Amino acid sequence: MTRLLTFALFLTIMVTLTGAAHYYVWTRLVRDPGLPASVTRTLSYALIFLFVAIPASLFLRRSALGNSVEALVWLAMIWMGLLLFLTLAVGAADLARGVWQVSRAWANAEPLLPERRQVVARLLAGAAALVGGSLGLWSLRSGLGGVSIKRVEVSLARLPAALSGTRIVQLSDVHVGPTIHRDFIETIVEQCNALTPDLVVITGDLVDGSVEELREHTAPLANLRAKYGVFFVTGNHEYYSGAEEWCAELERLGVRVLRNERVSIGSDAASFDLAGVDDHSAKRFGGGHGEDLPKALQGRDLSRELVLLAHQPRTIFEAQTHGVGLQLSGHTHGGQLWPWTYLVRLQQPVVAGLARFGESLVYVSRGTGYWGPPMRLGAPSEISELTLRSA
C-alpha cells in the first residue's frame, strides 16, 4: 500500500508540474507568435499528446502491456527532458523581454505597434525553441554516450600499509527500468571486471521496478568479479520497487546486501571495516527498514579503518561523529541536468566528488545510469574507481 500511495503522490505532483510547463511552453511558442491556424492547431494537439504520454507511459509500463509500450516510454522520457530545457529557454526569453520593456518604458519610447509586437514574439519563440532544442539534443548525446571511468585516490590514516593500493569500484544510481535494460548492465559489468577491482560496491538506486519486471535485466550482475566480493546498500528507489524482494534477489545473484551491518575486508591485521546502512529515508516505508549507523558500528574496534556505504550524502553528518574514514554515496546524479545541480545543493551537502567533513571523507558518485530522461548536462555518468592509500 505504501508503494502504491508513493507512486500515486509522485504521479500527481508530476502531472501538475508538467501540466504547468506544457501550458507555459504552449503560450510562448504556439499561441503568442501568431502562427497560421493550421500550424497552431497541429502543435497544440502535439503538446496535448506529449503531456498525456508522460503519465500514460509510466502507468502502461507497469501494466500487462509491459514491453509493448517501450517506444512510448522512450518518447515520453526524452520529451520530459526536452520540456525542461524549453521551459528554461522560454523563461530566459521572457526575462529578456521584461528587461527590454522596462528599458523602453524608462526611455519613454513609443509603444510598439501590434505587428512589431508579433515580430518580437516570433523572434523570441524561435530563439527559445532553438536554444532549448539544442540543449536537449546535446544532453541526449551525453546521456546515451556511454559510461566513463572516474579515477580517484583517497588517503586514509588508519588503512594498513599492506592494503595501500586497494581499489574499490563503485556503481550507483543505475536505475534499471524504463529505458535502462540488460544490455546496459552487461556493458557496465564488463567495464567493472576489466578493472580487476578488489571490491565492488553498489550504493543504491539500482532499480526502478519490481523483481518480476526486471529480473532478466539485472541478471548479469551475477557476473561481477572482485577479490573481496560485491556489496550493496539500498537507495530510496528500492523502496518504491520492493526493497525486501530486491535484497533477496541480489543475494541470490551473489551480491552481499549490507543492512545496518559491518564486515571485515582483508585478512587478520591487514584488513579494514566495511559498513552499510539502509537509505536515509527508509524508515518511513516500515518493514524494519531504516538507517541505523550505531547498529552497524556497534562493538567495532576504533583503531581500524572504516569505509561506509550510504546512499545519500547527508549521512556524512552522523558518520563523521562515529569516526568513519570514508563514506561512499550517490543519490544526487551530480545534478544530472543543469540547473538541477543548484536544487540538489539545498538537500545534500555534496553534489559530486570528494569532500571532507571533520576527520571524515565522503565521495559522491554522479551515478552510472540516469533517472527519467536519458539525458545528462554538465554531469556525465561514471563508474568510480577509488584507490585507497595508507596515509
Per-residue pLDDT tens over the stretch 168-190 = 999 999 999 989 999 999 999 99
Average pLDDT of 120-135? Answer: 92
As a whole-number percent, the residues of the chain with pLDDT over 70 amount to 96
Rounded distance between C-alpha atoms, residue 391 and residue 73, angstroms:
49
For residue 1, pLDDT beyond 60: no
pLDDT score of 129: 94
Cell matching residue 209: 521496478
Q: Does the domain at residues 148-390 carry the CATH identifier 3.40.1440.10?
A: no
pTM above 0.85, yes or no: yes
Q: Is the peptide bond before 349 cis (omega within 30 degrees of 0)?
A: no
Q: Which secondary structure element, helix H or strand E, spans residue 13, and what is its range?
A: helix 2-26
pLDDT score of 6: 65
Residue whose C-alpha cell reads 559498513 in the numeric block: 275
Kindly report, residue by residue over 220-254, the tens digit of the pLDDT. Answer: 999 999 999 999 999 999 998 889 999 999 999 99
pLDDT score of 7: 63
pLDDT score of 221: 97
For residue 2, pLDDT beyond 60: no
Q: How many CB atoms are located within 10 Å of the residue 78 CB? A: 22
Query: Where is pLDDT greater, at 216 or 108?
Result: 216
Closest CA relative to residue 253, chosen from 223, 282, 283: 223
Rounded distance between C-alpha atoms, residue 79 and residue 50, angstroms:
7
Q: How many CB atoms are located within 10 Å of the residue 260 CB? A: 21
Average pLDDT of 252-271? Answer: 94
For residue 330, pLDDT beyond 80: yes
Q: For the chain, give every domain's residue range.
A: 2-143, 148-390
Query: Where is pLDDT greater, at 187 or 57?
Result: 187
**Confidence at 63, pLDDT banded by 50, 70, 90:** low
260 three-class SS? coil
Cell matching residue 354: 570528494
DSSP summary character for residue 109: P
Cell matching residue 335: 545534478
